[in-house]
Amino acid sequence: AQKVTQAQTEISVVEKEDVTLDCVYETRDTTYYLFWYKQPPSGELVFLIRRNSFDEQNEISGRYSWNFQKSTSSFNFTITASQVVDSAVYFCALLSGGYQKVTFGTGTKLQVIP
């Protein structure tokens, strides 16, 4: 079985603050993939990043960065200098090599206050 836990249901920050969204996953497979998706108020789901289990390098893309730690089964997402446009629900997801089905966390709603 596979499971994704996003313990933070809602987070509010003031614009320009940094914020980290937590994601903890469970899988028995050694080959797996982790994803983050953004769902803005308009509703469409936007793919942000994919990471495979063999690559523990952290990744930075502009104001976004991801910290993948296999030792703690976590794949956390940090937004630096948050902006109002970052307000959305963010979903973490897992695809295990043997399971062939993407499992989503329950999402974290981020509100950036101007």
What residue ranges bind another protein (CB under 8 A)?
31, 33, 35, 37, 43-45, 47, 50, 52, 91, 93, 95, 97, 100-107
User: Which CB sits closer to another protein, 18 or 55?
Assistant: 55
Beta-sheet pairing, 108-113 with 10-14: parallel
First to last CA, the chain: 41
User: Which CB sits closer to another protein, 33 or 78?
Assistant: 33
Helices in the chain by DSSP H: which ranges?
Answer: none
User: Which CB sits closer to another protein, 79 or 107?
Assistant: 107
CB of 16 to another protein, least distance (A): 27
Given a contact cutoff of 8 angstroms between Cβ atoms, the answer to whether 58 and 66 are in contact is yes
